[in-house]
């Protein structure tokens, strides 16, 4: 913890970042104003299916592409975008079925995808549309589900990025006390007979969740602040996962697949690993990093799943690590 405190003090003197105590005061007037300073762009999949994204061109030499996690709308990263705008142009995608991109069913808050590779193919088409297929200036930040999308992307298109940062990568889902063989059996059965139904125990956006019960962040201010934002933009809300979504994750995270990814990904990588994460497994992140060509594993004590939504002493060190690594 002493090392983290020293790093935090160094970060404060090195970078101008939004501080926790000023978050609410600055959010509407500064952070959201920056976020809404440009309109959403879109990638048309079909007549009624459009992927929404934002490309902030801050006239920098480097492009940071952000793949959000499961259920996350790009607006959740408005503070991150503001903090990194002095370093990168930033492109952030609302994955299909999330944010203000198209939804698959009348039940708008369920995460659905037929094949996880579609997320990666969407991203490739967006980069092509924006003329950003230049690996020397492209860098990737990918969180949780977004990290799995990034892994699939980099395995399929290995020359599109120079470096990548994975935050709490979803190498394997943490099933808790449920036997993995039972989860896989139920996913296989119900993805065949009811693919677009919620996985047992899942539901829509957790509007009534209490801070003490959340698994994402120990920062009450950031957690509460985003809850207020999503209440204002309810059409961005996304909740639990479908059986088909779960089955596709299982298909793309077999031991054989993970081994295949580590052989194909050649670029320098960094993993931000929050040690209090209960959503994805910690040991599989270490194993994945150990088997990559050139990977640095950074552990964050006392951090839950979302390092960049954490309290300042954790979050600012995460930002400093990202900036230094990508520079």
pLDDT at 168: 98
Q: Is the confidence at residue 5, as pLDDT, over 80?
A: no
Q: Does an H or E element contain 7, and which?
A: helix 2-14
CB burial string 296-320: b at 16+ within 10 A, e below: ebbebeebbbbbbbbbbbbbbbbbb
Average of per-residue pLDDT across 166-187:
96
Q: Is the confidence at residue 16, as pLDDT, over 70?
A: no
pLDDT at 17: 76
Average of per-residue pLDDT across 255-260:
97
Average of per-residue pLDDT across 260-264:
97
Best CA proximity match to 85, nearest among 8, 17, 27: 17
Q: Is the confidence at residue 21, as pLDDT, over 90?
A: no
Q: Where are the domains of the chain?
A: 2-176+200-241+255-326
Average of per-residue pLDDT across 123-132:
96
Measured distance CA(79)–CA(198) in Å, rounded: 31
CB-based burial label for 151 (10 Å; 0-12, 13-18, 19+): buried
Distant-in-sequence, close-in-space partners of 228: CB < 8 Å, separation ≥ 6: none
Average of per-residue pLDDT across 138-164:
97
**30-40 pLDDT tens trace:** 999 999 999 99
Whether the full predicted model's pTM is greater than 0.85, yes or no, is: yes
Side-chain-side CA neighbours of residue 198 (13 Å): 13
pLDDT at 193: 97
Q: How confident is the model at residue 208 (pLDDT cuts 50, 70, 90)?
A: very high
Q: Is the confidence at residue 20, as pLDDT, over 90?
A: no
The two most distant CA atoms of the chain are separated, in Å, by 56
CB distance 94 to 261 below 8 Å: no
CB-based burial label for 157 (10 Å; 0-12, 13-18, 19+): middle
Q: What is the mean pLDDT of the chain?
A: 93
Neighbours of 21 (CB within 10 A): 9
Neighbours of 34 (CB within 10 A): 16
Average of per-residue pLDDT across 292-321:
97
CATH code: domain 2-176+200-241+255-326 is 3.40.50.1820
Average of per-residue pLDDT across 228-233:
95
pLDDT at 209: 96
Measured distance CA(154)–CA(134) in Å, rounded: 14
CA of residue 177 relative to chain centroid, distance: 25
Q: Is the confidence at residue 90, as pLDDT, over 60?
A: yes
Q: Is the confidence at residue 47, as pLDDT, over 80?
A: no
Measured distance CA(20)–CA(30) in Å, rounded: 14
């Amino acid at each position: 913890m002493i090392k983290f405190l020293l790093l935090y003090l160094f970060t404060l003197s090195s970078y101008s970042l939004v501080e926790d105590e000023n978050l609410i005061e600055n959010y509407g007037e500064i952070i959201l104003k920056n976020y809404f300073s440009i309109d959403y762009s879109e990638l048309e999949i079909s007549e009624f299916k459009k992927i929404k994204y934002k490309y902030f061109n801050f006239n920098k030499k480097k492009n940071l592409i952000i793949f959000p996690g499961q259920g996350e709308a790009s607006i959740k990263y408005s503070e991150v975008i503001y903090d990194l705008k002095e370093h990168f142009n930033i492109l952030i995608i609302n994955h299909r079925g999330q944010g203000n991109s198209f939804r698959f069913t009348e039940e708008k808050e369920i995460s659905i995808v037929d094949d996880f590779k579609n997320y990666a193919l969407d991203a490739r088409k967006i980069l092509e549309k924006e003329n950003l297929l230049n690996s020397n200036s492209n860098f990737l930040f990918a969180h949780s589900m977004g990290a799995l999308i990034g892994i699939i992307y980099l395995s399929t298109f290995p020359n599109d990025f120079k470096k990548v940062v994975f935050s709490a990568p979803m190498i394997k889902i943490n099933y808790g006390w449920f036997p993995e063989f039972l989860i896989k059996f139920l996913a296989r059965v119900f993805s065949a007979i009811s693919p677009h139904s919620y996985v047992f125990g899942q539901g829509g956006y957790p509007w009534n969740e209490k801070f003490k019960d959340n698994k994402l962040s120990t920062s009450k201010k950031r957690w509460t602040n985003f809850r207020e934002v999503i209440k204002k933009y309810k059409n961005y809300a996304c909740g639990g996962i479908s059986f088909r979504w779960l089955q596709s994750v299982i298909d793309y995270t077999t031991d054989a697949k993970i081994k295949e990814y580590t052989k194909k990904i050649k670029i320098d990588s960094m993993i931000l690993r929050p040690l209090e994460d209960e959503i994805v497994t910690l040991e599989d992140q270490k194993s994945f990093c150990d088997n990559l060509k050139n990977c640095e594993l950074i552990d964050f004590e006392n951090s839950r799943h979302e390092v960049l939504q954490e309290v300042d002493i954790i979050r600012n060190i995460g930002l400093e690590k990202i900036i230094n690594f990508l520079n």
